[in-house]
Amino acid sequence: MSLTESVLNGDPLALARLLTQVEKDSPEGRRALDELFPHTGKAHLVGVTGAPGTGKSSLVNQIALQYRRQPEPKRVAVIAVDPSSPFTGGALLGDRVRMRDLSGDPGVFIRSMATRGSLGGLAQATASVAQVFDAAGFDVVLIETVGAGQAEVDIARLAHTTLVVEAPGFGDDIQAIKAGILEIADILVVNKSDLPSADSTERALRGMLDLAHPVARTFRHHGQVMSVPGGEPEKAPLWIPPILRAVATDGTGVEALAAAIGQHAQHLRQSGDWNRRERLRLEVELEALVTEALVGRFRTKVSEKRYNDVLEKVVARSLSPWEAVKVLLSGR
Ligand SMILES: Nc1nc2c(ncn2[C@@H]2O[C@H](COP(=O)(O)OP(=O)(O)O)[C@@H](O)[C@H]2O)c(=O)[nH]1
Ligand SMILES: [Mg+2]
């Protein structure tokens, strides 16, 4: 039996092996992704993002437990993306310890990832890993990212539903505003609401949300805000991101959170946004792959020395960057 077949049959060891190949971007991994692709498109991808220490890992752990406790338990995959930790393969000891409640449950699979060197980088690797889980029949894929930079925003954009986690005790600023991730939030979570200052965190968040109240559902694409066409307002009601409180350390509020995640999925399907997001996501992914392939081809044609010679001319202002591109691409 091929590795792909074993994964489709639910073999966890084959899954672990395949994920390693996919993360390495090996020929075997690529072949498997091709074979698995027709089996994807079913899982609900849920991004969980926010500043370090807000309680994302604890929350992901609780959400996964919540799904496992349901009358019809969902199969849950967790992808913990941690670019800050290239040496440990991305897994922080703390994460491992907190995830222990879930270990031994065959309905849960946890994968940590760190930075990858290639141009496609972490966002692409995460997308590929999510596809493997999707094909392997996981109902929900929870993707934890640190909401700090563009890469994280790209990863969050992969998700159907994005949770932005805030917590009191991070100063007066709402971290997500700084990182520009509030606009991608479908659900806002005030975690650590056992702390007394949770009230003011929630108030600040609500103020921000009222200001930013979306007039129309918009997506960011190529850095531009695009209105999504179609869907009359009465047929496709706006989703107004709810603000939910949680205490990830004891699970308070997590049932309501899981319910809101489910409601968002339902909203996406009813409004047609599910298919639109899916299409946009695949379009962005295809574009990234084309770019990676073209740059790769370019690098095999233009030597390092030639590239540096042209660069030197640009630095010396004897050649403009636009002219330089023409020169490099023409092979002259
Ligand atoms: N008081 C309190 N502490 C929490 C809560 N959730 C997480 N923590 C603690 O906050 C710290 C960071 O949590 P972690 O899940 O690693 O946050 P992450 O960096 O966002 O993944 C840990 O010490 C947690 O035990 C909560 O709801 N209340
Ligand atoms: Mg974490």
Q: Find the mean pLDDT for residues 233-248.
A: 82
What counts of helices (H) and strands (E) characterise the chain? 13, 9
Nearest-CA residue for atom 7 of ligand 1? 55
Tell me: pLDDT of 101 over 90: no
Residue with tokens 């930079």: 149
Q: Lowest-pLDDT range, 55-59, 111-115, 159-163, 176-180?
A: 176-180
Does ligand 1 come within 6 angstroms of the Cβ of 61? Answer: no
Specify the CATH number for 40-271; select among 3.20.190.10, 3.40.50.300, 3.80.10.10, 3.40.50.10860.
3.40.50.300
Confidence of residue 163 (pLDDT cuts 50, 70, 90): very high
Q: Are 170 and 51 a contacting pair, CB within 8 Å?
A: yes
In this prediction, residue 268 carries a pLDDT of 95
Contacts of 59 (CB under 8 A, 6+ apart): 48, 163, 165, 189, 191, 246, 248, 254, 257
How many other CB atoms are there within 10 angstroms of residue 1's CB atom?
A: 10
247 secondary structure, DSSP code? B
d(CA 251, CA 34): 39
Q: What pLDDT, in 10s, does the model give residues 308-327?
A: 999 999 999 999 999 999 99
Q: 287-303 burial, b if ≥16 CB within 10 A, otherwise e?
A: ebeeeeeeeeeeeeeee
Does ligand 1 come within 6 angstroms of the Cβ of 195? Answer: yes
Average model confidence (pLDDT) across the chain = 82
Q: Find the mean pLDDT for residues 161-166.
A: 92
Question: Can you tell me whether residue 323 is helix, strand or coil?
Answer: helix
- Residue 299 Cα, ligand 1 centroid: separation in angstroms? 44
In this prediction, residue 209 carries a pLDDT of 76
Testing ligand 1's pocket by substitution, the residue of 143, 166, 249 carrying the most ligand atoms inside 8 A of its CB is 249
Measured from the alpha carbon of residue 50, the closest ligand is 1
- Residue 312 Cα, ligand 2 centroid: separation in angstroms? 43
Domain regions of the chain by residue span: 40-271, 302-330
Global confidence as pTM: 0.83
Q: 178-201 burial, b if ≥16 CB within 10 A, otherwise e?
A: ebebbbbbbbbbbbbbeeeebeeb
Which of 235, 237, 244 is CA-nearest to residue 217? 237
- Residue 270 Cα, ligand 2 centroid: separation in angstroms? 32
Does ligand 1 come within 6 angstroms of the Cβ of 53? Answer: yes
Testing ligand 1's pocket by substitution, the residue of 57, 58, 191 carrying the most ligand atoms inside 8 A of its CB is 58
Atom of ligand 1 nearest to the CA of 58: 15
**Which H or E run includes 311?**
helix 304-315
Does ligand 1 come within 6 angstroms of the Cβ of 49? Answer: no
